[in-house]
Structure 1
Amino acid sequence: MSDSIDSLYPFLNGRKKDPASENAALLESVRQKSDESLAAKQTFFADHAQALVDAAKAVAKVYRSGGKLFSMGNGGSSCDASHFAVEFQHPVTAGRPSLPAWNLTIDTALFSAVANDVG
């Protein structure tokens, strides 16, 4: 069994693990993932800050003109689209008004029907 699989599923090979070394490995894994996540975010925002500002201005313009926000995603991005819409429907910041927003990928019946009928 490969080391990566063994580290994820140590019970599969029947060997006993040392709890202290397992804990140390898990802590190191958390630290490493945290560092990687931070680096990815810093790179993203450095590369795309202006695009984010432009997108925020575009959304604000739509709402100022009485428009609505529609989001959608495929696969895991559907969850992001849902979260994005909810941020407008139910703002977590106290005092912010709710704004009309819909996640188009929430309707699985519609998507499966279109996929079935259209392909």
Structure 2
Amino acid sequence: MDLLARIAQQFNDSIQTKQQALDAVAPAIAHAAEAMTRALLAERKILACGNGGSAADAQHFSSELLNRFEMERPGLPALALTTDSSTLTSIANDYRFEEVFAKQVRALGQPGDVLLAISTSGNSANVVQATHAAHDRDMRVVALTGREGGELADLLINQDVEIRVPALSTARIQEVHILVIHCLCDLIDQQLLGQEA
């Protein structure tokens, strides 16, 4: 096996997926960034959730807002629902794992907040339940999905935004998701601060 050739193939596949995704996702990214910025300007917050690599993406997004992205600014209110092991395990134990995000959304979410729901397949049961809870709380949902969008895509309503990566590989979808997250952070900063990073 030629390891260098395999590495080059991974890079090339990632680049090709991102190039193919650009036209499909760019309008939705802009729409989502505008919705998130409006929420932040209205003193609302953004909650984020996902599983596995998507949990890491939710935490990455919230840390970029809470701390800083590429320019100095005050912290912005964002919270990853994936980080409190006591809360996650108590909900999973007392109820069911599908409720680990939804119960947090019902407790912490307020009308006008935004839920960033991340699922490469769109079929993660706990992310689907979180979306139901967000709608119950009169929150907007920004869904990061892939493939055919899954059950999550079918739940979205007019005020919501789906950013669907047109790819089948979980790894490639996740690589585009992190680029989308960086775009969202950049656009939020640019809209709030009105200057280039």
TM range (shorter): 0.7 to 0.9
* Offset of residue 26 of structure 1: 1.5
Structure exhibiting the larger radius of gyration computed from Cα positions: 1
Instruction: Structure 1: state its 5+ residue gaps.
Output: 1-6, 8-24
Per the TM alignment, residue 43 of structure 1 is displaced from its structure 2 partner at its CA by 1.7
Matched, 1:85 2:62: yes
Match of 2:39 in 1: 62
Amino acid at match of 1:88: L
Task: Give the structure with the larger helix fraction.
Answer: 1
Deviations 1:55-109 (A, max 9, x none): 0000000011011111111222110100010110111323233111111111121
2:8 alignment partner, one of 23, 31, 34: 31
The separation in 2 between residues aligned to 1:85 and 1:41, in whole angstroms, is 23
- Work out the number of aligned pairs and report it: 96
Taking only the aligned residue pairs, the percentage that are identical comes to 34
**Aligned partner of 2:55: which letter?**
S
**By percentage of residues, which structure has more strand?**
2
Counterpart position of 2:94: 117
- Separation (CA, whole Å) in 1 of partners of 2:82 and 2:69: 22
Distance in structure 1 (CA, Å) of the matches to 2:69 and 2:84 = 24
With structure 2 as the length reference, what TM-score do the two structures score? 0.46
Structure 2 equivalent of residue 3 of structure 1: none
| Letter in structure 1 aligned against 2:45 | K
Letter aligned with residue 72 of structure 1: C
| Contiguous gaps of at least 5 residues in structure 2 | 97-197
Output the CA distance in 1 between the equivalents of 2:74 and 2:19: 30
Q: Distance in 2 between matches of 1:76 and 1:112?
A: 19
DSSP-derived class of the 1:106 partner: coil
| Distance of 1:43 and 1:97 partners within structure 2 | 35
Residue type of the alignment partner of 2:59 = S
Q: Which residue of 2 aligns with 1:22?
A: none
SS of 2:82's partner is helix
Paired amino acid for 1:64: L
Question: Paired residue for 2:78, among 65, 83, 101?
Answer: 101
CA distance in 1, matches of 2:76, 2:68: 9
Q: 1:41 aligns with which of 3, 8, 18?
A: 18
